[in-house]
Amino acid sequence: MSEKRKKLIVTRYNPESDTAPRTQVYEVPYEDDTRVLDALNYIKDVEDGTLTYRSSCQMGVCGSCGMNVNGTPRLTCATFLRDFEGDITVEPLGNFPVMRDLAVNMSDFMEKLTRVKPWIIREKEKPLDEGEYLQTPEQLQAYRQFSLCINCMLCYAACPVYGKEKDFVGPAAIALAHRYNEDSRDEGRAERNAFVGSTTGVWECTFVGECSEVCPEGVDPAAAIQREKLSNAVDKLKSFILPWGKK
């Protein structure tokens, strides 16, 4: 059986010598079970040790190996070479500053992630001896989908709003805020809203919906953002009709 080979057109950027990214073509052998990440590992091991990219678990759990493959943000460990006709372009995730080759600078996302306070906030913690905060399966179901995010940032790479407006809190961070807002044990919605409900928060979103299309975990961040918009609008209406109500 003759060996199957495919061309990978890979974006290279060396901050020490380049002013803009360039591309480099590598030809790699592949089988039916070869993934884009395997191909990159092959290049790094055999062809060119200087190629830089991120990866860790290699099984779709850690969210490190997101890249634009033929223009679409994907986890390279879950993308097979056999699914593509012709050459494959591998670029760093869109909308992010490129540090080197295929590795992007994720500081902006990390900062936004902490600012949505993705943890359970209680107005008053109950003492340990009073036991756990109980939750029914239905209450769990209300937010479970939104808790599956692996922070791979594919949604940011697919979001044209984030591409134009870097202040936008963005899909994954808002989805995570929504996950805690919907948690029956949580009381931190008002606290999160200062950031999430602002003009650079949910209201920046124009509902293009591509974030949900590229999400490898089926989180549906677009739905989370639209539902946060709705509850924000209802809150506003309530405070208008019942100004004496709970703030």
Partner 1 sequence: MSTREYRVPEPGYKDYNPPAPEIWWTKRRGYLLFMLREFTAIFVLLFTMRLLQGVIALSNGATAWNAWVETASNSTFIAIGSLIAFFFVLFHSITWFQAGAVVTPLRFGKFQVPTSLFVAGNMGLVVVVALVIGYFSIGG
Q: Which pairs from 38-41 meet CB under 8 Å and 24+ separation?
A: 39/6, 39/8, 39/81, 40/8, 40/10, 40/76, 40/90, 40/102
Q: Which is nearer to partner 1, 121 or 222 (CB)?
A: 222
Residue placing its CB nearer to partner 1 in the complex, 41 or 95: 95
Q: Using the rule CB under 8 A, is 50 a contact of partner 1? A: no
Cβ atoms of 96 and 157 closer than 8 Å: yes
Q: Which of 97, 144, 167, 194: binder of partner 1 (CB under 8 A)?
A: 97
Specify the stretch interacting with partner 1 by CB under 8 A; choose among 8-16, 110-118, 169-177, 181-189. Answer: 8-16
Residue 136 engages partner 1 in binding (rule: CB under 8 A): no
223 binds partner 1 (CB under 8 A): yes
**Shorter beta-carbon distance to partner 1: residue 78 or 103:** 103
CB 64 within 8 A of CB 57: yes
Helix axes 189-196, 171-181, angle to 10 degrees: 160
197 forms part of the interface with partner 1 (CB under 8 A) = no
Helices (H), 70-136: 107-115
Work out whether strand 66-69 and strand 72-75 pair parallel, antiparallel, or are unpaired: antiparallel
Choose the stretch contacting partner 1; rule: CB under 8 A; options: 173-181, 184-192, 195-203, 217-225.
217-225
Q: Which of 238, 192, 212 is nearest to 228 (CA)?
A: 192
Minimum distance of partner 1 from residue 160's CB (angstroms): 5
Helix or strand or coil: residue 129? helix
Contacting partner 1 (CB under 8 A), which of 1, 3, 16, 242? Answer: 16
Sites of contact with partner 1 (CB under 8 A): 13, 15-16, 18, 20-21, 71-72, 94-99, 105, 158, 160, 163-164, 206-210, 213, 220, 222-223, 226-227, 229-230
